Amino acid sequence: MAKIIVVTSGKGGVGKTTTSASFATGLAMRGHKTAVIDFDVGLRNLDLIMGVERRVVFDFVNVINGEATLKQALIKDKQFDKLHILAASQTRDKDALTQEGVERVLNELAQDFDYIVCDSPAGIEKGAFMAMYFADEALVVTNPEVSSVRDSDRVLGILSSKARRAERGEDKVKEHLVLTRYNPTRVSKGEMLSVDDVKEILAIPLLGVIPESPSVLTCSNSGVPVIREEGTDAGAGYRDLVGRFLGEDLPHRFITEQKKSLFSKLFGAP
C-alpha cells in the first residue's frame, strides 16, 4: 500500500514545489517507486522544475475526467525510472478537482507505487484541501518568517481536524517540519527566527533544514531538482531530509554559520 505525503504550507512561494521535486526524486534515487502530482490547477509548475515540460501530453484533470488513462498521463523520468510525474492541468475551472476523482486516481496509483507525493498549491482553498485530504503524512514547508510560520500553524490545524484520517478517527496525519530558505548568518545576528524558535512555536518534529541557496535558482533554470546536484548545500540538505524520512538518524546540518577558514579570514575569499 502506498504512502501518501502532502507537501503543504498555506503561504505561497516558500518552497513547496522545490521541496516536492527534490523529495520525490530523492525517494526514487533510493529505490522507491514514487509518483509526484502537481495539484496547482491553473498554475502548472512542477513540470518545469523537474524538466519534463515538453513531455506533458495529458494532465491530472484529463485522468479525472476519463479523457486519458493514468498510464498515458504519467511521465516517466529520464534519469530515474522509479520516478513518475503527473502534471497539473492549466484549466481555469476551479472545480476540476473533485474529491471522488482525486480519490480514484490516488487509489489507482497506490496499487503500484510506494510513495505518492502531492505538491499543494498555496492557500487553503479547494486545490490545497484536495492535496491534503487523503494524506498519511505531511511535509509542512516553512520559512523563518512571521507570516509563513503563522500560515503553517493554520495548515496544521486543518490537517488535524479536516483530513480524511481525522474524519475517520484514524491515527492523525504524521507531520514533519521542513524549514527552508534558512540563513544561519542572519539568525546569529538576531535578524531571523531560529530553527529552535520555529520548532517551539509549531511544536512538530523537524525533518530537515534547507539553507537559502543560489543553487536552487540555477537548478530551476535548467529543470534539474536541486537534490541531484552534488556539491550544493541545498542538495545535501534535501538528501539528508530524505534519509531521515526513510528512518536514518542523521544530524542536522546548515543550522549554524559555516566557520570561515583561516585562509578566507586572512584573504577574504568566500
Partner 1 sequence: MDWLKFFRGEKKTSAQTAKERLMLAVAYQRSGQANGPSYLPRLREELLGVVRKYIQVPDDAVQFSVQREDGLEVLELNITLPDQ
> Nearest to residue 194, comparing CAs of 206, 186, 203?
186
Helix, strand, or coil here: 186? helix
Residues 131-170 that bind partner 1 (CB under 8 A): 145-146, 149-150, 153-154, 157-158, 160-161, 166-167, 169
The number of residues that bind ligand ADP (CB under 6 A) is 18
Which window, 81-89, 100-108, 168-176, 215-223, contacts ligand ADP (CB under 6 A)?
215-223
Residue among 108 and 153 whose Cβ is closer to partner 1: 153
Q: Residues near 204 by Cβ (< 8 Å), separated by ≥ 6?
A: 140, 156, 175, 176, 177
Cβ 171 to partner 1, closest distance in Å?
Answer: 14
Residues 234-253 that bind ligand ADP (CB under 6 A): 234
> Nearest to residue 121, comparing CAs of 213, 238, 12?
12
Amino acid identity of residue 95, one-letter, is D
**Contact residue for Mg ion among 8, 17, 148, 194 (CB under 5 A):** 17
Nine cell digits for residue 94: 476551479
> Nearest to residue 168, comparing CAs of 140, 138, 136?
136
193 binds, among Mg ion, partner 1, ligand ADP, none (CB under 5 to 8 A by kind): partner 1
**Contact residue for partner 1 among 75, 163, 192, 236 (CB under 8 A):** 192
Task: Determine phi and psi for 176, rounding to 5 degrees.
Answer: -130, 135
Residue 22 binds Mg ion (CB under 5 A): no
